[in-house]
Structure 1
Amino acid sequence: MESQFSRGESLNLLEDADLRRHVRFLGDLLGEVIVERSGQAVFETVEQLRKGFIRLRKQDDPLLRNQLMAQLGELDPLTVREVIRAFNLYFSLVNTAEEAFHHHNRMLQLRNGGNLWHGSYHDTLTQLKAEGVTLTQLQAMLDQLVYMPVFTAHPTESKRRTVMEILRRVFLLDEQLTSPDLTSYDEQQIRRQLKQQIQLLWATDEVRAVKPTVRDEVKNGLYYFNVSLFDAVPRSYRNLENAIRRVYADEVDAGTPFHIPHYIQFGSWIGGDRDGNPYVTAQTTEMAVMLQKRAILRRYLDDVTKLMFSLTQSQPLCAVSNEFAADLADSEQRFGSAFNTNAQRFINEPYRRKLYMMRHRLEDNLRLLQHYFRPEQQVSSLGTAYENEQAFLADLKLLKQSLQANGDTMIAATDLTDLIRLTETFGFYLYHLDVRQESTRHTQAVAEVLANTGLCRDYEALSEAQRMTMLSELIDQQQLPEIYGDLQPETDEVLAVMRLMARLRHDVSDKAFGHYVISMTHAASHILEVMLLARFAGLVGENEQGQYCHIYIAPLFETVVDLAHIEPVMTALFENPVYRNRLMLSGNRQEIMLGYSDSCKDGGILASVWHLYQAQQKVGELSKKYGIACRMFHGRGGTVGRGGGPTHDAILAQPPGTVQGQIKFTEQGEVLSFKYGNTETAAYELGMGVSALLKASRSLVTQAKSEPAAYHDVMRELASLGEQQYRQLTEQTPYFLDYFYEACPITEIGLMNIGSRPSHRKAGDRSKSSVRAIGWVFAWAQSRHTLPAWYGIGTAISQWLQAHPEAQQTLQQMSRDWPFFKALLSNTQMSLAKADMGIAQQYAMLCEQSLPALDVLSIIRNEYEQTINQVLSLVEADKLMVENPVLALSLRRRSPYLDPLNHIQVMLLRRYRLAETDGQDMAVLRDTLLRTISAISQGMRNTG
């Protein structure tokens, strides 16, 4: 998602002036720190560049531009580095100030008791009630709701965790400045503390010194839970409950019951995604699960300890339920070792006594984990650990029931209820870890296993029909032969991961693993291959209770061709009785993952979004035909070119009737820190996503309203025209790939220590298919082309209007009435606003052959200008992003500060590439260049 701001938020001039004063305040503090730590000369250089490029943004001045370029060229390496760091830190402070400012405004709305922001729970429930949705119907929707962000470790987050921790403190201090009770003394103290944090930021390197390991990436993912989500999740549940009581007060007062189920779940790929990452093995996957378990157990231990200080009711001043009294007596018999040092501890405080034993048991759960993390210490368990999350949850609910039964309902509804909701959400596993591997790995593994067991000597020579028949028969066999002899390391690793999944389902939780995702799924046999391997590994089989299937398989359709083939592949799968039987055993819900990134890189934005839209419709039809519940898993990135855009609008843009109460989507890169770096923003983002899910799921209780079929006809033609234009540029234009590799810093991005995964599928392969979609989008963004997010749209609209000269009103109506098309045009405007063809030309001059490079740029520039004109015509506006003034102002605030960074990056790229050729010392140049990549990412709020 490129922005945390929805289209519904507005910003009046007074508010913007207030925000600008706030930003200027932080900027002044930064200026003081720069003078103190780096000297007056550095500060003056920063100011000259800042003010000079602001003047150029207002009015071009060739003389001033030449002076600024000359000044940049004369800077010594140390000063260049300090200038880059100054702008980078400025952007971090601006991002934090904006986040705190908008949170403060939302809290003002909340306290004033009026209408809340568009997308809030209150706003959404008011809309649903006005449309006739009763509280009973709302409950039916809630009972089926699943909202699941999935954290991934794609290498696009350039901000270090240490820096994020300092920025969290800046956010909290910044929030204090908005207090109406602030005294002059308080303000001075907060100013002093803010300056201290900015001094820390200036003294903390924002660029990683070494490439992160998978363990580092897992810990980076866990950071967001510890710093915000453990508090944001129960807050989001409370917000919904309060909104229901307010909006549906008449039905609640009349006695209509309701409850809040645990509809928020989390997934992760960090430590499970082995597609193209040689560093993710079975051992690293086990490490990830154990780190997750340790993180959540530590949180439960803290919360149970806090409850001991709040549930202090004493007997005979309080009563407890009979069930609680019986359980307390039983617990004292079984877990009395908790009181070895003092048998009478809390003897008259029943809740504290119970909680003390619960704490004792959680400590034993953590003690058991020490066997994994510190095997050399030989720590022995006390035998009191909770066997699973259900047992812990049962204790918590028993406490709550006893409190409610004895008049302490309000006390039970606070911290204890929050802990219950945390436990329902996170269990003992924290989040569902998905495993991902590429389809050819499974085909090769099946071929080797079958040859090794004598079941089939040449599996890969079989046709698709023959493969389906053989795989089905083997999966359904009562017993499979043992695998004898050594397997190739790749095959052994595939089976080792599945055996690990079987073991950790027992040792940690049966919910520890989510889905097994097969990237590059081209055929139904690819799914059955994984099912057969799982059969060999013990995840699928038969025991004394009967048949079982403990693996959930999600095919991933990524390219435009694969998306077009989704119907025949899934039809073949759903008509296979062996697969249907296993699917029924695992819950009769099929998850299907859609790849936004590769489809866009492959065929362009229009073809990508339309094939994705059609794929969901086809899956929805198949779901009804075969009586199988389906959940779409959206592989979205941070940018529009990778499926990004505001979450609320993206969910509403899904085909009517296809969401069905559940949605799962990837969250990655800079999106994680922007959305989940602070508790306050995280709770807001969760609320915006869940409220959109409720709106999109009205078909669960009412008839879904579909868009006119004529819109589909138009979109089909636009997608075809857009794909032709995109492929003509990326596959048929001479010198285009050379232009990409020379005008964009894709090679240099690969040098950054921001992810464990390589930037290319094949090292040294300079092709569109080899470069990963993340790097593809990242590089075009750095060079201010932002091409993947908009290229082909202008030509498609123009050519369609030429063929239908009287139909412009149709497109305008689509932009007003069709959420899908409206979101597409909104995201397109956002990406066009971030592009700058003047700066892109500076990058084009890096190419070895200037004439063909300028020819390529001319094609891109023409499409850029045409796209702006056509989009503005359809949305009936005279400038970009009129409908989203908050984001428009934010981008305009950043542009003058981005300009010098881009010019510095161009200068450094030229020097770096020449130095590489001449064999000069590279270390200083490389370090400074990588800092520009990080800084531009911060300024655009946009990496990959």
Structure 2
Amino acid sequence: MKLIQKQSVFHNEVLTRFELYKSLFLTLPFQSVKHTGTILPFFSTHCEKGVEEHLAPQEIIDTFFDQYEQYVQEEDRIDFLFRIVQYIERQVVLFDAVEDSAFHSVGKNEDTGVLQALFIRAKDNPSLKKKIVNKLHDFSVRLVLTAHPTQFYPGPVLAIITDLIEALKLNDVPNIQLLLQQLGKTPFINKQKPTPVDEAASLAWFLENVFYRVASEIQAKIDSEMEVPVEEVKQLIELGFWPGGDRDGNPNVTAESTKTVANMLRTILFRCYYRDFKNVKRRITFRGAEKYLDILQDLFYDNSFHPKENPEDETSIILDNLRALKEVLDTQHDGLFAELVEDLTRKVLTFGCYFTTLDIRQDSSILKDTFNYLVKNNNDTQLDLEMISNSEDEKEKTMPFTELDLTHNEQAEPLVADTLDVIRLLKDIQHAGSERAAQRFIISNCQNASDILGLMQLFLWSGWKKDTLTIDFVPLFETVDDLSRAAEVMRSLYMNSEYTKHLKMRGNKQTIMLGFSDSTKDGGYLMANWSIYRAKIELTTISREFDVDLVFFDGRGGPPARGGGKTQKFYASMGKEIANEHIQLTIQGQTISSQYGSLETAQYNIEQLLQAGIVSEIQQKDGDTLTNKQKHIIDQMAQVSHTKFMALRKHPLFLKYLETLSPLKQLSNVNISSRPVKRNSGKELRLEDLRAISFVTSWSQLKQNIPGFYGVGTSLQWAEENNLWSYVQNLYETSGMFKTIIDNCMMSMTKSNFDITAYMEKDETFGEYWTMLRDEFELTKKFVLKLSKSEVLMEYYPVERASILAREKIILPLLTIQHYAIRTILDKDLTEEREAIYTKLVARTIYGVVNAGRNLA
């Protein structure tokens, strides 16, 4: 009954209101809008019918145009298709806004509970309250904002969406109409690729308008509920930032852009402080406060509007004056307006002079090149050339850890020079905002202990000293093979005396990043999830053996295929074998705008993560810690799934199918990111060079979502055939981790639609290949429905299912147009000019499809 009620609320609050407000488009004073909007329903119905009948996209489009005399000429047809794309793009925005405006009514549908419910129970349960307080003493949630392009709204459109959501909440029709008019005239595409600084500026909007307020409000609520004085506050919510610091595979990120972003973040933060301070100053007009107010006025104003070239960390000065100001209020003015000072104090304690920790990331191969460069060019200064050719074991044993001040010359490769420049720059960033401003260097593609030790040595060769090396070295393990060897790598590190000394200086805390994106591309959905879970168990065991406080940093994307989906459910079900004292994860693209884009949604989702982390330790379920038998079964299933996925990867048509039928090639021409679509961009496409985002996006445009389900059905069938079904059923019912894997798989499948490409079944080249993909989809669907005891996919998540299906219906014409344009390019001998037009048409459809999918990429 409850599920039916939720579905009814969604229908009334979202679907019905969307249909009502959609009609406003027809009243807008734009050329051809009314004509396009009038024909669109007929075009959509025609596409739906054609897809149901498994017609080829050319046949669907051509038979539609045959009904209208005004579309005889190709130019007129192309013009109409472009206008359809633009119209649907704006419908997607409207649907986003309507759905987000109804969040209070339909959004809070997770069954994991919210933080407030936990605190209510704790009020009447002193024992539970004590457990929560103890947990909060050493617990934090860090959200790391990345520039990975999983949604394609430019900044101005995001701002319109924000205003539109507020207008929709009030049913302010005149304002809604004006905003839709603005939306109609606002471009949805960038003329040029954004720079890393552009990307940072875009994401800084969320820092300034959402996280700045929400982080302190949640902190205040928890302090109040748990009766923690403001001076004893332990920072629970931390923010991280990758734009401007993440240079892995992105040659456009340089030390100069890193410096610019760090300074920009500092300036934006002080403007936030200054806005709050003006309110404080307006209210506190009492004697005794003038001195402290004047000091704070100068500090906040100068740093906001006249920032220095090389600023200093002034956090302690700000806090000293705020505390002195509060003491004046408490002792001389009955604490009047003290809460305003407490609020600003809490924000300064949270954000300091840096706002968000700027992470630096680079691939291990570049770091090796940099190490080798310094050895080769400075072998007259105590450096031994043999360090380059040593075996892995010798490198670990003979790493000198000498403190030298080496520089690069003009002949150094750009990426080598950048690495050495940014290592030196980190000192300046820390000087301006404390070590919290930039304290982590992440090593992508980390395969050996020497990758971390070599980077530590680079710091010591760049002017840093061992006893003041305020940097955390974070290995990133991504591929299935790297994940399987991660514990071995960390054991070698923990046994290295120099690294152990450094670790102790850093509070004996080690952060390890685990990446979902490349592990899914590398081993398939089930193997990726299991490899990461198994690695967490092994890494936790090793770290506990060496008494190291382990922090897992999860590189999770938006969709299940990249580690997303129902993220908080993973953290709530880690069990006793996995370190879960801290939750750290990347959030990107539409994960940011859809889940953290407003004060209400951000507060809810952050509280969900906090609650998941607390509950996973103090209220663990028996099923969350897997038995050896359960591990063995999942391991066998993962191997079966992996074998199935690897057979697909090794198929000679694998990349050809993706390159030919999906808009993979066009992704490189879409101005959405400063990062190239693939590594080694000038060379022939190889799967290992293809970025996970491009890989997953291409499959999602085909509406086949292979990375989110392929191999799962085969593994479940294997379990049934080997009399293990009862065990698998028990896993689904008792293990939160396993249930979430399957539920997220169903989400990926709900966003799939093989009918769109069903015409491929008879294709001479790809027919058998397409059939193989479709058959695994149907097999997986059969077994996940059986496992979840459902009639339809996502039956027990009716609101999310209804949202997905509504979005899929909106963009079906876009997909039809996209495949029509791709097939036209393939099948017809086009002139260069005409091919460019159809290529542009393909590229334009990508935006709406990804935006509507909310975390498809």
Do the two structures share a fold, i.e. TM-score over 0.5? yes
Q: Deviations over 1:814-842 (max 9, x none)?
A: 11110110100110110000000111335
Q: Check whether the contact 1:613–1:655 (CA below 8 A) recurs between aligned residues.
A: no
Q: Return the match for 1:688 from 591, 599, 608.
A: 608
Q: Where in structure 2 are the equivalents of 1:233-382 lying within 5 Å?
A: 233-241=215-223, 244=225, 260-312=233-285, 314=286, 348=287, 350-351=288-289, 354-366=292-304, 369-371=307-309
Note the C-alpha offset of 1:581: 0.3
2:64 is aligned to 71
Q: Return the match for 1:907 from 807, 820, 823.
A: 820
Q: Quick one: which amino acid aligns to residue 658 of structure 1?
A: I
Q: Check whether the contact 2:405–2:462 (CA below 8 A) recurs between aligned residues.
A: no
Cα–Cα, structure 1 residues 639 and 627, in superposed 2: closer, same or farther, change >3 Å?
Answer: same
Q: Return the match for 1:398 from 324, 330, 333.
A: 324
Q: Quick one: which amino acid aligns to residue 736 of structure 1?
A: F
1:742 is aligned to 660
Cα distance in 2 between the residues matched to 1:261 and 1:704: 31
Q: Deviations over 1:354-380 (max 9, x none)?
A: 3243112222334652547xxxxxxxx
Cα–Cα, structure 1 residues 913 and 281, in superposed 2: closer, same or farther, change >3 Å?
Answer: farther
Note the C-alpha offset of 1:488: 1.6
Cα–Cα, structure 1 residues 880 and 558, in superposed 2: closer, same or farther, change >3 Å?
Answer: same
Cα–Cα, structure 1 residues 508 and 61, in superposed 2: closer, same or farther, change >3 Å?
Answer: closer
1:488 maps to 2:405: no
Q: Deviations over 1:215-268 (max 9, x none)?
A: 1011011011122222222232344356x36xxxxxx7xx99996532101001
Q: Where in structure 2 are the equivalents of 1:337-486 lying within 5 Å?
A: 348=287, 350-351=288-289, 354-366=292-304, 369-371=307-309, 387-405=313-331, 408=334, 411-413=337-339, 415-454=340-379, 455-471=383-399, 474-475=400-401, 477=402, 479-480=403-404, 482=406
2:518 is aligned to 598
Note the C-alpha offset of 1:924: 4.0
1:332 is aligned to none
Q: Quick one: which amino acid aligns to residue 244 of structure 2?
A: G
Cα distance in 1 between the residues matched to 2:605 and 2:38: 39
Cα–Cα, structure 1 residues 412 and 25, in superposed 2: closer, same or farther, change >3 Å?
Answer: farther
1:113 is aligned to none
Note the C-alpha offset of 1:553: 0.3
Cα–Cα, structure 1 residues 870 and 508, in superposed 2: closer, same or farther, change >3 Å?
Answer: same
2:730 is aligned to 813
Q: Deviations over 1:742-793 (max 9, x none)?
A: 1111111111000001101122422211211110001101110111011000
Q: Return the match for 2:135 from 141, 158, 182.
A: 141
2:441 is aligned to 516
Q: Check whether the contact 1:142–1:260 (CA below 8 A) recurs between aligned residues.
A: no
| Local SS of the residue matching 1:920 | helix
Q: Quick one: which amino acid aligns to residue 178 of structure 2?
A: Q
Q: Where in structure 2 are the equivalents of 1:640-651 lying within 5 Å?
A: 640-651=560-571
Cα distance in 2 between the residues matched to 1:40 and 1:747: 34
1:38 is aligned to 32
Give unpaired runs (5+ residues) of structure 1: 1-6, 110-115, 178-189, 246-251, 315-347, 373-384, 542-546
| Local SS of the residue matching 2:507 | coil
2:499 is aligned to 579
| Local SS of the residue matching 2:145 | strand
Cα–Cα, structure 1 residues 529 and 860, in superposed 2: closer, same or farther, change >3 Å?
Answer: same
Cα distance in 1 between the residues matched to 2:124 and 2:711: 40
Structure with higher Rg: it is 1
Note the C-alpha offset of 1:647: 2.7
Note the C-alpha offset of 1:927: 3.6
| Local SS of the residue matching 1:533 | helix
2:453 is aligned to 528
1:48 is aligned to 42
Cα distance in 2 between the residues matched to 1:387 and 1:900: 54
Note the C-alpha offset of 1:126: 4.7
1:840 maps to 2:773: no
Q: Check whether the contact 1:453–1:483 (CA below 8 A) recurs between aligned residues.
A: no
Q: Check whether the contact 2:443–2:474 (CA below 8 A) recurs between aligned residues.
A: yes
Cα–Cα, structure 1 residues 877 and 868, in superposed 2: closer, same or farther, change >3 Å?
Answer: same
Cα distance in 1 between the residues matched to 2:425 and 2:312: 22
| Local SS of the residue matching 1:654 | coil
1:170 is aligned to 164
Note the C-alpha offset of 1:937: 1.1
Q: Check whether the contact 1:521–1:557 (CA below 8 A) recurs between aligned residues.
A: yes
1:556 maps to 2:470: no
Cα–Cα, structure 1 residues 282 and 258, in superposed 2: closer, same or farther, change >3 Å?
Answer: closer
Cα distance in 2 between the residues matched to 1:36 and 1:124: 52
| Local SS of the residue matching 2:606 | helix
| Local SS of the residue matching 2:117 | helix
1:707 is aligned to 626
Q: Check whether the contact 2:3–2:798 (CA below 8 A) recurs between aligned residues.
A: no
1:935 maps to 2:854: no
The percent of aligned pairs where both chains have the same amino acid is 23
1:331 is aligned to none
1:501 is aligned to 426
Pick which of 849-858 and 46-55 moved more. 46-55
Note the C-alpha offset of 1:23: 1.4
Q: What TM-score, normalized by structure 2, do the two folds share?
A: 0.92
Cα distance in 2 between the residues matched to 1:91 and 1:869: 31
Q: What TM-score, normalized by structure 1, do the two folds share?
A: 0.84
Cα distance in 1 between the residues matched to 2:616 and 2:78: 53
| Local SS of the residue matching 2:552 | strand
Q: Quick one: which amino acid aligns to residue 579 of structure 1?
A: Y
2:768 is aligned to 855
Cα–Cα, structure 1 residues 837 and 410, in superposed 2: closer, same or farther, change >3 Å?
Answer: farther
Cα–Cα, structure 1 residues 523 and 311, in superposed 2: closer, same or farther, change >3 Å?
Answer: same
1:201 is aligned to 183
Cα–Cα, structure 1 residues 813 and 126, in superposed 2: closer, same or farther, change >3 Å?
Answer: farther
1:796 maps to 2:715: yes
Q: Return the match for 1:618 from 519, 538, 543.
A: 538
1:919 maps to 2:837: no
Cα distance in 2 between the residues matched to 1:941 and 1:484: 45
Equivalent residue pairs, number: 843
RMSD of the alignment, in Å?
A: 3.0
Cα–Cα, structure 1 residues 745 and 623, in superposed 2: closer, same or farther, change >3 Å?
Answer: same
Cα–Cα, structure 1 residues 716 and 410, in superposed 2: closer, same or farther, change >3 Å?
Answer: farther
Q: Check whether the contact 1:657–1:697 (CA below 8 A) recurs between aligned residues.
A: no
Cα distance in 2 between the residues matched to 1:306 and 1:635: 39
Q: Deviations over 1:337-365 (max 9, x none)?
A: xxxxxxxxxxx4x4466324311222233
Note the C-alpha offset of 1:579: 0.5
